[in-house]
Amino acid sequence: MDIVQIATHLIDEDTEQPRYQFDEEALQELMNSIDELGLLSPIKVRETAGGRYKIIYGNRRYKACKTLGRPAIPCIVSTVTNELDIYLEQIAENLTREGFSPIEEAEAFHKLLNDPKFSSSTKFLSSKLGKPESYIKNKCELLKFSNAVKKLIVSGTEIRKDKLTEDQLLPLKDLPMEHRDPLALIMARDEMPVSDVKKIAKLFKDSEITPSTKDKLLYKSGPGLLETWYTIQHNKAEKAKQPAEAKPKPKSNPSHSETDKPDASKPEASKPETGKLELLQMDITTSAPGPSAVSEANSPLIAQQLQQLLTALPPHSALLPEALHSFQELSAEERQALLSGIDSLLVNLQSHLAEWNKIKSLTMQSQ
């Protein structure tokens, strides 16, 4: 393929090309390289009217040469005229280049799928670009998020403060917009790992939690949301262990009143919990709680909550030596999950400790 020198002033940028974000620092490094060694890789252009040329790919190299004041740029002149073929070539080239952002990819795929000029299918793009259909679909899902979220999306898998990876966002994509975007910003701010984001997404998909409670959950931090998820899972597990409500006995016959009397030595069947995640609702709601099975009980509310905590918290028993050393058998992902669970447990216990110490002090002062 022939390389020709074309005057810089005869070359135009393609304003519709898929890549439009250029890192200034990287551009400066490229300019330094070109200034020292020259342009090692030519750009590709096509002829347009009036003896001019439009870039197919190589916008960044063109910008660097133009800024340096280079009078001419080495180019490959393409004879391709089909707009779809040109756009596919631009995407394919940029996919091999560093700095092609996930949002730029998503917008390019969306354009090929929805612009009447192209009207391509996911299957067609997959075959042309060598990418799985799921890859293309997942990229397009990123476009659901608001601009405030989109501008934080970066390539790669490294978790960074105030940045978002594709893997962090995809678990949130099917949530309602009023929860999806605020959660994404919380995940970016608190540098939440993907495994924790998945748990938090499940929390907001839980049909037993009311929409108003989910709205209030958005005031929590990322670790706070994760703690709530663990608390709910624990409560559900405890609830599943409780015996089913005893069936009511038929009315006793007055003639057999003595034989039908309940045995005082037998404990009364425990009543099932009422309401959906009432304890969570009470914890989150900032206004006075409405009537519930707990508030209707005869004992003071603080005593009820203490009793619930004592019932849920098992007596302490030292971990067995084999349990203490079993972490060595865990994979890296399992160790990360274990550490997240430990952090959530400690945060939960510390919160309980601080709150009940405060209640203890208040109680002693009132004596």
Containing 57, the helix (H) or strand (E) segment is: strand 52-57
What pLDDT score does 364 carry? 74
Residue 316 pLDDT exceeds 80: no
Residue 5 near residue 75 (C-beta atoms within 8 A)? yes
Distance CA 272, CA 97 (A): 60
CA-to-CA dists, residue 271 to 175, 184, 240, 277, angstroms: 35, 40, 13, 16
116-133: pLDDT as tens digits: 988 899 999 999 999 999
pLDDT of residue 251: 56
**DSSP three-state, residue 78:** strand
The first and second tokens of residue 217, run together, are 């959950």
- CA dist., res. 308 & res. 300, Å (int): 13
Q: Which band of pLDDT confidence, cut at 50, 70 and 90, is reported for residue 247?
A: low
| Domain annotation for the chain: domains and CATH numbers | 1-82 (3.90.1530.10), 147-239 (no CATH)
Average pLDDT, integer, range 137-157: 93
Could you tell me if 76 and 44 are in contact, meaning their C-beta atoms sit under 8 angstroms apart?
yes
At residue 245, the pLDDT reads 52
**How far is it, in rounded angstroms, from Cα 218 to Cα 295?**
26
pLDDT at 100 (0 to 100): 86
The residue among 320 and 285 whose pLDDT is bigger is 320
Find the range with the poorest average confidence among 175-189, 196-210, 237-251. Answer: 237-251
pLDDT of residue 289: 38
- Least confident interval from 72-86, 133-147, 242-256: 242-256
Q: Which of 145, 46, 311 is nearest to 168 (CA)?
A: 145
β-partners of residue 45 are 55, 77
pLDDT of res. 359: 83
What does the chain come to in residues?
367
| The predicted structure's pLDDT at residue 279 | 47
Q: How confident is the model over 291-312, as a mean pLDDT?
A: 60
Q: Given pLDDT bands bounded at 50, 70 and 90, which one contains residue 28?
A: very high
Tell me what the pLDDT averaged over the chain comes to: 81
The answer to whether the CB of 145 falls within 8 A of the CB of 169 is yes
pLDDT value of residue 104: 93
Q: What is the pLDDT of residues 44-70, one digit of tens each?
A: 999 999 999 999 999 999 999 999 999
Q: How would you list the strands of the sheet with 11-12, edge to edge?
A: 4-7, 72-78, 43-48, 52-57, 11-12
pLDDT at 295: 38
Average pLDDT over residues 82-104: 89
Pick the more confident residue, 350 or 126: 126
Q: How confident is the model at residue 33 (pLDDT cuts 50, 70, 90)?
A: very high
CA–CA dist 197, 182 (Å, integer): 13
Which pair of structure tokens corresponds to residue 254? Answer: 């007055």
Tokens of 278: 């009432």
What is the per-residue pLDDT for 296? 39
Rounded Cα gap, residues 194 and 342, in angstroms: 17
Q: Return the pLDDT at 345.
A: 75
Largest CA distance in the chain: 115
Residue 365: the pLDDT is 73
Alpha helices in 242-320 (DSSP H): 278-284, 301-312
Residue 332 has pLDDT above 90, yes or no: no
pLDDT at 292 > cutoff 80: no
pTM for the full predicted model? 0.61
pLDDT at 200 over 60: yes
What pLDDT, on a 0 to 100 scale, did the predictor assign at position 204? 96
More confident call, 266 vs 112: 112
Percent helix, strand, coil in the chain, to 5, is 55, 5, 35
Q: What percent of the chain has pLDDT over 90?
A: 51
Proportion of the chain above pLDDT 70, given as a percent: 77
Report in angstroms the alpha-carbon separations of 236 from 193, 273, 276, 279: 24, 11, 10, 11
- Measured from the Cβ of residue 60, the count of other Cβ atoms closer than 10 Å reads 19
Name which of 122, 134, 211, 204 is nearest 166 in CA terms: 134
Q: Please compute the mean of the pLDDT values over residues 94-115 and round it to a whole number.
A: 90
Distance, C-alpha 201 to centroid of its chain: 7
Enumerate residues 6+ apart whose C-beta is below 8 A from 133: 122, 123, 126
Parallel/antiparallel/unpaired status of strands 11-12 and 52-57: parallel
Tokens standing for residue 86: 């040109």
| Cα–Cα distance for residue pair 283/304, rounded to 1 Å | 14
Distance CA(104)–CA(322), nearest Å, equals 51
Tell me, what DSSP letter sits at residue 43? E
More confidently predicted of 153 and 337 = 153
194 touches 167 (CB < 8 A): yes
